[in-house]
Copies of this chain bind each other. A is one copy, B any other.
Amino acid sequence: MGDPGERLKDSRSHRGLAGDSPAGLDAIDLRLLELVQEEGRITLSELGRRVRLSPAAVAERIRRLEGNGTITGYAALVSPAHLGYGVLAFVRVAPRGGLTLRHPRPQKVLARPEILEAHHVVGEDCWILKVAVRDTGHLEELLEQVMTLGRTTTSIVMSSPVDRRVIVPIGRERPE
């Protein structure tokens, strides 16, 4: 499964079906994708047992999925709450002036470790940030800095019924 010591190549950051189409995935690839999304550290042997293929054959398929950018990496998932982040929130930022992402001020704000995700969006806002902070006081301090970029609107997360859904290739969603 590649050298775990390097980032995978070809992990474009988003949109636009760059490169390969979802076609070319057979039912076994599908199942493998599902399994590795759920159990990132599952062994090739175990995968082989589940899909009835030899470890070597599975390794080859996984290597292909990594190589063409379908699998972009592997990660341990950690609980923000256990690391001192008691509050999760979404902050929407509506532009003030024509500040683009390349300018130094946004760069500096986006570098803050509390910002888990930052998305540049069209629509009525400009950016959507997902942030984790210690408490509301901490949130206030963070917002002061974010507000230098534009008008902010904050929504504090109470619960997350869907935290992270396994992605299934389009057209292959499970028949319930």
Binding site for B on A (CB under 8 A): 1, 4-5, 7, 11-22, 33, 36-43, 46, 68-90, 92, 101, 110, 113, 115-125, 128, 132, 134, 153-165, 167-171, 173-174
Known: A90-B121, A156-B123. A83 touches B22 (CB 8 A): yes
Number of copies: 2
Which residues of B lie under 8 Å from residue A16 when comparing CB positions? 81, 86
Q: Which of A78, A117, A128, A156 has the most CB of B within 10 A?
A: A78
Residues of B within 8 A of A68 (CB): 82
Q: Complex: how many Å from CA A125 to CA B73? A: 33
Which residues from chain B contact A78 at a C-beta distance below 8 Å? 33, 37, 70-72, 167
Closest 3 CB pairs of A and B: A40-B74, A84-B170, A123-B155
Contacts of A160 in B (CB 8 A): 13-14, 117-120
In the bound assembly, the distance between CA atoms of A155 and B122 in angstroms comes to 6
| 21 A-B pairs in the complex with CB atoms less than 8 angstroms apart | A4-B40, A4-B42, A4-B43, A4-B46, A7-B38, A11-B79, A13-B160, A15-B87, A21-B84, A33-B76, A39-B74, A40-B76, A69-B82, A70-B79, A85-B167, A117-B163, A117-B164, A119-B159, A123-B155, A123-B156, A125-B155
